[in-house]
Amino acid sequence: MENDDARARLVEAGRALVDAIGRTGVDDAALTEAADRLRSVEALLRAIEHERVPRITYDDAVGMEAYSWQRWNVVLPHLEMRFDGIKGSAELPEGLNELYEGPTGLLHGGISVVLIDALVTSLAQFHGLRNVTAGLTINFRKPTLLHTPLTVEAVLEEVHDRKVIVSGSLVSDGKTTVEATAVLVRVER
């Protein structure tokens, strides 16, 4: 596997690029030139490809007290998850930007759901409960602002034979904006 620092630099550049593509106001000639140059960067990267975006496997993740979710994926927000007993949490100190906007100035609700779902399922996985999400009840209590520190929280509430209940929430600048209850079902593979 390649050096993590080099990959981290690439991913950071990729996230900045995605932001720049979203916001750019340059003329058509510059857009065309940028597209051509990006195609050549793509060819450089595709010279050697992994079949999947690298990540820790479900089995290797059991009992890991820290887990870096989507670290190498520029499309989704990167979450540094922490697990401590029945609790899990993840911080996004700078919050999220307009790429994830729903209502003007506010975080899209679907993105809140992704963040919570990622943490609740990973908390169950941390406990060795290999799972998929069967049901997710979401209440959007307050608007979640962009560019505002976010914390995602999860608590393992109940473990049944096949069903696991985990509560989750999104806290924006100290206020709980989204609350969720997940029904996870244990699966073999």
Ligand X SMILES: CCCCCCCCCCCCCCCC(=O)SCCNC(=O)CCNC(=O)[C@H](O)C(C)(C)COP(=O)(O)OP(=O)(O)OC[C@H]1O[C@@H](n2cnc3c(N)ncnc32)[C@H](O)[C@@H]1OP(=O)(O)O
Please give the residue ranges that form the binding site for ligand X (CB under 6 A): 56, 58, 61, 64, 67, 117, 121-122, 125-126, 131-135, 160-163, 183, 185, 187
Nearest to 187 by CA among 68, 58, 86, 85: 58
Q: Which is nearer to ligand X, 106 or 153 (CB)?
A: 153
Shortest separation between residue 26's beta carbon and ligand X, angstroms: 37
Q: Which is nearer to ligand X, 67 or 100 (CB)?
A: 67
User: In whole angstroms, what is the distance from residue 154 CA to residue 167 CA?
Assistant: 6
Strands (E), the chain: 66-69, 79-84, 87-92, 131-140, 150-159, 163-172, 175-186
Shortest separation between residue 80's beta carbon and ligand X, angstroms: 11
Shortest separation between residue 108's beta carbon and ligand X, angstroms: 17
Nearest to 110 by CA among 178, 166, 161: 178
> Amino acid identity of 137?
T
Q: Which is nearer to ligand X, 60 or 173 (CB)?
A: 60
Shortest separation between residue 83's beta carbon and ligand X, angstroms: 6
Q: Which is nearer to ligand X, 17 or 114 (CB)?
A: 114
User: In whole angstroms, what is the distance from residue 177 CA to residue 165 CA?
Assistant: 20
Q: Which two tokens stand for residue 25?
A: 């106001």
